[in-house]
Chain A
């Protein structure tokens, strides 16, 4: 093996090594994914009524008048240990009612790279909920199960919300 053969080989390795790339994830939004299920059949449910989700003590709307949805995503607060979310159900007949979801969590600062945006990941720990009288509004939260505690860039279902409807 001669220097004439070695030099181009090693020089090309240097050039290859000098290449830099940015490995930021394409989906860099951290949101909790919720699926809607029928409490009676335990199967996925498409909500025909209107659902609006808001946090307690805030003007922001996290989910605005969603209809015909079977799943949705919600952001979580960066600092709080418990997020209190108000689920407001309404229908065309003018009926409406609000249920509450309390989500206990921890927050972890996440650094990917110097050239990527920073994020806060979450680990869900507890879930509590309230239900309303089904006669007021014929759909309510029956129960909630936590299926994936880690909330990060992956849009994988975190919560299963079982809805009870008036038959």
Chain B
């Protein structure tokens, strides 16, 4: 079952990536004749060139098909088609019981990311983006942990291990890189890879957490990604 879920998730992810890449290539081909140099050098972009909203498909698929994931929405402002201040608000969820240890981990907590993207494309009038960005993110979360009773090594008695509402918080930063392509009029898709670096965290009552909402697995290598569906408003 787990392998099937991973397979489905991989197929969705790869097809999504292929879709956005194909859209970008198509748009590049279609727009190739447009002479960038012919645009007036002095043409000024308006400071506020638009706003967008979107959500992360990758996190939603993960939430539905894997042990953890997130439902995440974003709001973005387009400044001069070059800078994109962005807010991402999400709900990280996990309800997972490990097959071997029988430890159950359950959480559903919000997180917030604030940051800015920079569009590297020379042709900034293109509806596509090749961007890098940074984020600062914070979550204050709670989780429940339950496991089979522990057997005391001296007296042989059992000690329960059921804890609810364990509190923790984490502040982290993200460096990201990604692409976004226009699919139709106000509809865009894009994906990004992110490297996450923990800046501050509180020790929980049981020392560690397993999944931190928005950050991912606590002991992971800090790499993550997203696949966004974006609508201009």
> Which A residues are within 8 Å of any B CB, using their own CB?
1, 3, 6-7, 10-11, 13-14, 16-17, 19-21, 23, 55, 57-58, 60, 62, 75-80, 83, 108-118, 120-121
Task: Collect the chain B residues with CB atoms within 8 Å of residue A58's CB.
Answer: 154-156
Chain A contacts of B220 at CB under 8 A? 20
The contact of A114 among B103, B155, B207, B225, by CB within 8 Å, is B103
Kindly identify which residue among B21, B105, B208 contacts A3, using a CB–CB cutoff of 8 Å: B21
B159 touches A11 (CB 8 A): no
Bound together, the chains give a CA A114 to CA B153 distance in angstroms of: 22
Is A17's CB under 8 angstroms from B159's CB?
no
Contacts of B209 in A (CB 8 A): 111
CA distance A83 to B208 in the complex (A): 27
Across chains A and B, which 9 residue pairs bring their CB atoms closest together, nearest first? A17-B223, A111-B206, A75-B153, A13-B193, A78-B159, A77-B154, A114-B98, A78-B152, A23-B219
Interface contact B179-A114, CB-CB below 8 Å: no
Find A11's partner among B17, B154, B223 (CB 8 Å cutoff).
B17
Closest to B100 in A: A115
- How many residues in B have their beta carbons less than 8 Å from beta carbons of A? 46
Residues in A whose Cβ lies below 8 Å from that of B13: 14
CB contact list, B10-38 vs A, under 8 A: 13, 17, 21, 24-25, 28
Asked whether B42 is an interface residue with its Cβ less than 8 Å from the other chain, the reply is no
Report the Cα distance A13→B226, complex, angstroms. Answer: 12
Interface centre among A13, A19, A57, A120 (most CB of B within 10 A): A13
B55 at the interface (CB under 8 A from A): no
- Cα distance, A155 to B155, chains bound together (Å): 22
Beta-carbon nearest neighbor of B223 in chain A:
A17
B150 interface residue per 8 A CB criterion: yes
Closest chain B residue to A74, Cβ basis:
B154
> Contact: B218 with A113, CB < 8 Å?
yes
B186 within 8 A of A: no
- Contacts of A7 on B, CB cut-off 8 Å? 17, 21
Bound Cα distance from A20 to B223, whole angstroms: 11
Whole-angstrom distance between the alpha carbons of A2 and B191 in the complex? Answer: 16
Judging by beta carbons under 8 Å apart, are A118 and B221 in contact?
Answer: no
Chain B's closest residue to A14 (CB) is: B225
Give the residues in chain A near B98, CB-CB below 8 Å.
114-115
Given the interface contacts A13-B223, A23-B219, does A118 sit within 8 Å of B161 by beta carbon? Answer: yes
